């Protein structure tokens, strides 16, 4: 496939025009809040196409992309094997409402990679995965209460929105209009990185094993092990929301990376390669509570969709041991370069890294929980830094609580260009922030 040259100058429609039109027909102009640039200011760029590590907007501007759909784009944009697999699948029909071979192969591939995972149910989003895992945990234990951690995001289902990270944090919403007190009555929110009291009324403790929706916050040593032990003592189920970490941190995700096994898993993002997919899973013993084997109902018209499973299989096929090594090397190079950039600009910032996942916090120390992350965000440097990077052709997430996503398509030249941009952008952001205060 030939590289189309950017069409700078002769764009049929500008970002600003499209955003204006979008605001007429889409609330806030977007289909997911963070995309509206509310917490960074300015007009969103409308993506025309992506290839490898880059996206081009409708005006022909090229960006080195660190959003990558917040995780699914682990191979970069439009990898040939995935495009071929999805096109071939589409030519055979886009949905049947009957079982297909690829569902069996994708589920098998997932179970082969994640230690302890024996069965999965495929769904169409991470939200559905987490929501259904909670229902399953309640059904299997006969208990109601769930414990989640402030700043962790588990999708937008009612019970899990309490003190959520990502877009919920960006909006400054502690809760959410339209969620009834009843819907969150059984949700207990605890601070991340401290093992909470788990009692025998608790069905499940739900955690992002690496928190990647309040910036990037790693689990302190002993946190995940402590959760495992507390759940075992109370007879509660431990649920790892691996929607971001799954098949990204390692072949076997955070489960392999940290050597702690949950009872239930949630997946999404990487396993769909950019198509709408999620999954939840666990042992055969737990998963037999799910309909049609058991009494916990869960279903989906598009679950196990033929295009999505084709994309997922193509993605996992590319993720061998060498791929994980390469991905981590890219992240190491970027993290070191960004820290160097902030140092030379004399702007205090930290770039936490776990495997290939990166975060960015302004201030002297890496946060360990949501309050500390929020204190970093309150320094107000992310928005001007984001803008200065975007003007230099580097697209970070338009919100301070998101992670930085590298892909296998990021070349050394992309990373080096990013670091050069960051050195200038850090100085510019610090100046801009100081001017605003003055
Ligand atoms: C993105 C995300 C979700 C929600 O997935 P959607 O596909 O956006 O519904 C759930 N949990 C975590 C950890 C996520 O990062």
For residues 332 and 307, state if they share a domain: no
CATH of residue 325: 3.90.1150.10
- The answer on 307 and 189 residing in a single domain is yes
Strand partners, 228: none
| Residue 376 Cβ < 6 Å to ligand 1 | no
Render pLDDT for 382-393 as a digit per residue (tens, 0 to 9): 999 999 999 999
Residue 431 lies in a domain: yes
Contact, 406 vs 330, CB < 8 A? Answer: yes
313 and 324: one domain? no
Report the pLDDT value the prediction gives residue 1, as an integer from 0 to 100.
41
**Is 75 inside any structural domain?**
no
* 72 belongs to a structural domain: no
pLDDT at 418: 98
Q: Could you give the CA distance from residue 363 to residue 62 in angstroms, rounded to a whole number?
A: 30
Q: Which of 310, 305, 187, 205 is nearest to 260 (CA)?
A: 205
Residue 99 covered by a domain: yes
CATH of the domain at 225: 3.40.640.10
Q: Which domain holds residue 192?
A: 80-318
Average pLDDT over residues 247-272: 98
The answer to whether the CB of 246 is under 6 A from ligand 1 is: no
The answer to whether residue 71 sits within a structural domain is no
Ligand 1 centre distance from Cα of residue 160 (Å): 11
- Asked if 159 and 208 sit in the same domain, the reply is yes
- The answer to whether the CB of 244 is under 6 A from ligand 1 is yes
pLDDT tens digits along 130-158: 999 999 999 999 999 999 999 999 999 99
Ligand 1: centre distance to CA 22 (Å): 24
Q: pLDDT by residue (tens digit) across 161-220?
A: 876 666 666 554 457 888 888 888 899 999 999 999 999 999 999 999 999 999 999 999
CB–CB of 204/280 below 8 Å? no
> In Å, what is the CA distance from 1 to each residue of 87, 175, 308, 404?
14, 46, 22, 28
pLDDT in the model for residue 139 = 98
* Cβ atoms of residues 275 and 307 within 8 Å: yes
Nearest CA to ligand 1 atom 6: 126
Domain co-membership, 312 together with 324? no
At residue 190, the pLDDT reads 95
Is residue 290 within 8 Å of 298, Cβ to Cβ? yes
Quick check: is 272 in a domain? yes
Regarding the beta carbon of 125 and ligand 1, being less than 6 Å apart is answered yes
Residues contacting 136, CB < 8 A, separation 6+: 264, 280, 282, 286, 287, 289, 290, 296, 298
Does some domain include residue 73? no
Residues 326 and 385 in one domain: yes
Q: Which of 266, 295, 318 is the last residue of a domain?
A: 318
Q: Where is 388: in which H helix or E strand?
A: helix 382-391
If asked whether residues 288 and 226 sit together in one domain, one would say yes
Query: 118 and 212 in one domain?
Result: yes
Which pTM does this prediction carry? Answer: 0.95
Mean pLDDT across the stretch 355-359?
Answer: 98
Containing H/E element for 188?
strand 187-190
Domain boundary among 285, 303, 318: 318
Q: What's the distance, CA 377 to chain centroid?
A: 19
Largest Cα span, the chain:
65
pLDDT digits (tens, 9 = 90+) for 292-318: 999 999 999 999 999 999 999 999 999
If one counts the domains in the chain, the total is 2
Asked, for residue 134, whether it belongs to a domain, the answer is yes
Mark which of 281, 298, 318 sits at the end of a domain: 318
Q: Domain check: are 35 and 90 in the same one? A: no
Same domain, 246 and 263: yes
Residues 152 and 231 in one domain: yes
**CA torsion through residues 91, 97, 98, 101, sign:** positive
Q: Which residue has the tokens 């431990």?
A: 238
Instruction: Identify whether residues 308 and 171 lie together within a single domain.
Output: yes
416 part of the active site: no
What is the pLDDT averaged over residues 338-363?
A: 97
Q: How far is the CA of 161 from the centre of ligand 1 (A)?
A: 12
Q: What mean pLDDT value characterizes the chain? A: 94
| C-alpha–C-alpha distance, residues 416 and 290, integer Å | 49
Determine which helix (DSSP H) or strand (DSSP E) holds 141, and give its type and residue range: helix 126-141
pLDDT at 282 (0 to 100): 98
- pLDDT higher than threshold 70 for residue 337: yes
């Amino acid at each position: 496939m030939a590289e189309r040259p950017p069409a700078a100058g002769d764009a049929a429609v500008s970002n600003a025009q499209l955003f204006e039109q979008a605001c007429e027909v889409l609330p806030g102009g977007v289909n997911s809040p963070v995309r509206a640039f509310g917490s960074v200011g300015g007009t969103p760029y409308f993506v025309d196409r992506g290839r490898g590590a880059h996206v081009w907007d409708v005006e022909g501007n090229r960006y080195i992309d660190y959003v990558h759909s917040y995780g699914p784009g682990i191979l970069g944009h439009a990898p040939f094997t995935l495009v071929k697999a999805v096109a071939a699948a589409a030519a055979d029909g886009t949905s049947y409402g009957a079982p297909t071979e690829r569902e069996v192969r994708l589920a098998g591939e997932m179970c082969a990679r994640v230690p302890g995972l024996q069965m999965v149910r495929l769904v169409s989003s991470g939200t559905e995965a987490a929501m259904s895992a909670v229902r399953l945990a309640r059904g299997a234990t006969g208990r109601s209460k769930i414990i989640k951690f402030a700043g962790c995001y588990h999708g937008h289902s009612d019970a899990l929105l309490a003190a959520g990270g990502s877009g919920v944090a960006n909006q400054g919403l502690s809760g959410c209009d339209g969620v009834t007190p009843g819907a969150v009555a059984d949700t207990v929110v605890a601070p991340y990185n401290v093992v909470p009291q788990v009692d025998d009324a608790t069905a499940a403790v739900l955690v992002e094993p690496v928190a990647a929706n309040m910036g990037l916050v790693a689990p302190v040593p002993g946190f995940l092990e402590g959760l495992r032990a507390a759940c075992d003592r109370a007879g509660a189920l431990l649920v790892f929301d691996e929607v971001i970490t799954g098949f990204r941190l390692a072949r076997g995700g955070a489960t392999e990376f940290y050597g702690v096994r949950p009872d239930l898993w949630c997946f999404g993002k990487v396993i769909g390669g950019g198509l709408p997919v999620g999954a939840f899973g666990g042992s055969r013993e737990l998963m037999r509570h799910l309909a049609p084997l058991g009494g916990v109902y869960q279903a989906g018209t598009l679950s196990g969709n033929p295009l999505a499973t084709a994309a997922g299989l193509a993605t996992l096929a590319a993720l061998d041991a060498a791929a994980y090594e390469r991905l981590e090397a890219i992240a190491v190079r970027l993290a070191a370069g960004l820290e160097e950039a902030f140092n030379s600009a004399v702007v205090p910032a930290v770039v936490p890294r776990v495997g290939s996942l990166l975060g960015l916090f302004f201030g002297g120390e890496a946060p360990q929980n949501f309050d500390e992350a929020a204190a970093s965000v309150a320094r107000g440097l992310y928005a001007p830094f984001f803008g200065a990077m975007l003007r230099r052709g580097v697209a970070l997430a338009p919100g301070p609580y998101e992670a930085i996503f590298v892909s296998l398509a990021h070349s050394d030249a992309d990373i080096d260009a990013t670091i050069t941009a960051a050195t200038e952008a850090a100085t510019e952001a610090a100046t801009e922030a100081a001017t605003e205060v003055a």
